[in-house]
Structure 1
Amino acid sequence: VHIVILAVKPQDIKEVLAEIAPILDSSKVLISIAAGVSLKVISSVAGKQLRLIRAMPNIAALVLESATALSQGGEASAEDLELAQEIFGALGRTVVLSEALMDAVTGMSGSGPAYCALFIEALADGGVQMGLPRREALDLATQTVLGTARLLMEQGEHPAELKDRVASPGGTTIAGIASLEAKGFRSALIEAVASATQRSRELAKIRE
């Protein structure tokens, strides 16, 4: 099986597809990681039915820790999807979803590293405000997020269960959580994902 991975900026997709269309046929699997470009648009620009897989990785692929969502096009086989899972599985973890959910994936895990980086920066700033040296505060904040993520992934625990284990009655953690809840921390993250998802939908319509 020949695999073609379309890893270009969304605004360049039509030009690139027009250039490579002559070599695309049913013997090849085309995997697109162009954000916001639907399988329908790719088929339309290519002018033919293709074995298509759409992938949405994130920047953590640089350290083999990507969260990647895959969507299977109508002409792609189960074997084609398994091949895509194998490729992107080497870069982290994969899930298979309907293409209709790809904008939500973009708004959550696609943009998620930026949200996490902002959280780590703010957590470190809190430590600095309380007297910690900047370098040590950032190291502690980053390792705390990394360690928490590994705990959740490896133990299969729900985040609420881990939170409850750390937050003892009348203790420091529950005081901090109460402050976060009062400031709308949870709803702010939910709204961030919703806003990014909506923007992804808007950009997708522009590219149709």
Structure 2
Amino acid sequence: MSSSPYKVAFLGCGNMGSAVLLGLLDALDETKSGDGRAWNFTACTKTENSATALVEKLGHHASQVQVLHRQNENALAEADVIILGVKPYLAKGILSKPGIGEALAGKLVISLMAGVSVDEVHELILPAAKESASAATHIVKAIPTIAARYRQSMTLIERSSQPLPQHHEQLVTSIFNFVGSVKILEPDLMDVGSVLVTACLATLTVPLDGLLDGSVIEGLPRRDALELMSQGIAGLGALLQHGGHPAMLRESISSPRGVTIQTLLSVERENARVTFTDALLRGTEYLQKMRPKTEPRQSSEKDKA
């Protein structure tokens, strides 16, 4: 097997892209890739200020990443793997520029764009590239969380209708296993899955803030309350991962005339369960509406065959 390094380019390195990049760098500091190959990273930003901010965020990892701005085409042409971390609404303007489609041809492209399907990424690339070049590009959709920064992401990977070459499939799984856990979902479940693991994490901070406020009212310093709650959440996660159903956990903790059932009653009186259900449904609906507009793809002779 070749010992040449994996050349990975991050196109767009905002909060999510930088979280994945930093998590990868931390993981690779501790371990080698399964086949012993080295990794070279390039990060592409839109402005010089963004590049400077990213270098600062990288800290002691800065020497391991080449940070560029306004040099997308050159960076992508040199890379083997491209991780698209751009905002969905910016995707069309970036990916349809002349030279980008050709630079991506034959490469492994990992899209982190929630709400944008693999086919839509192909459509965005297609106007700037020849049909044959676009068809040769291997695209996979992966939705990590910002917890990738601390290697605690639950990354969703979309099952491809056109299977990836085995070495690409293994590489994608390896990248996101470095920064947490991986779950493969069918394409029609990616939107709701994406909202569940990303947007709803922010939604859950609302009741957590309420619990912190209550703790402060009762005299517990907020810093101490946050420490207790953080470990409590970690413990809850462990119980759920080992097969504990939320309803069963509530039942097992709630004792007759106990404090737990009193707190649960307060929450149920405010219809909190339905509120969170609606939050997930509204988030999923909005994600489906924000898809970029693309032109219908024309079938090539190769497709018809």
TM-score, scaled to structure 1: 0.88
| Letter aligned with residue 5 of structure 1 | I
Q: Once the two structures are superposed, what CA deviation does each residue of 1:107-162 show, in whole Å capped at 9, x if it has no partner?
A: 21111221232232111112122332222222222222122112322x33222222
> 1:9 is matched with which residue?
87
Higher relative contact order structure (alpha carbons within 8 Å, sequence separation ≥ 6): 1
The correspondence for 1:163, drawn from 239, 243, 250, is 250
> 2:152 is matched with which residue?
65
> 1:45 is matched with which residue?
124
Contact 1:85–1:94 at 8 Å: present in 2 too? yes
SS in 2 for 1:94: strand
Separation in 2, partners of 1:98, 1:11? 24
Please provide the CA RMSD for this pair: 2.0
Aligned-pair CA distance for 1:25: 2.7
Contact 2:83–2:112 at 8 Å: present in 1 too? yes
Separation in 2, partners of 1:59, 1:119? 20
Indicate whether 1:120 and 2:208 are aligned.
yes
> 1:75 is matched with which residue?
162
Aligned-pair CA distance for 1:54: 0.4
Contact 2:156–2:194 at 8 Å: present in 1 too? no
SS in 2 for 1:111: helix
SS in 2 for 1:177: helix
The correspondence for 1:33, drawn from 112, 115, 121, is 112
**Higher mean displacement: 169-178 or 141-150:** 141-150
| Letter aligned with residue 139 of structure 1 | E
> 1:177 is matched with which residue?
264
Structure 1 unaligned segments of length 5 or more: list them: none
Query: Kindly tell me: are residues 78 and 181 of structure 1, through their superposed partners in 2, closer, same or farther at Cα, counting changes over 3 Å?
Result: farther
> 1:194 is matched with which residue?
281
Which structure has the greater CA radius of gyration?
2
Query: Kindly tell me: are residues 207 and 36 of structure 1, through their superposed partners in 2, closer, same or farther at Cα, counting changes over 3 Å?
Result: farther
| Letter aligned with residue 165 of structure 1 | S
Q: Once the two structures are superposed, what CA deviation does each residue of 1:40-83 show, in whole Å capped at 9, x if it has no partner?
A: 11111222223211011111111111111111333342623333
> 2:103 is matched with which residue?
23
Separation in 2, partners of 1:182, 1:82? 48
Separation in 2, partners of 1:78, 1:96? 16
Q: Once the two structures are superposed, what CA deviation does each residue of 1:153-181 show, in whole Å capped at 9, x if it has no partner?
A: 2x332222222221112211011111111
> 1:131 is matched with which residue?
219
SS in 1 for 2:290: helix
TM-score, scaled to structure 2: 0.62
| Letter aligned with residue 82 of structure 2 | V
Q: Once the two structures are superposed, what CA deviation does each residue of 1:3-50 show, in whole Å capped at 9, x if it has no partner?
A: 221121212222332342112233x22110022222111111222223
Aligned-pair CA distance for 1:187: 1.2
Separation in 1, partners of 2:104, 2:159? 17
> 2:45 is matched with which residue?
none
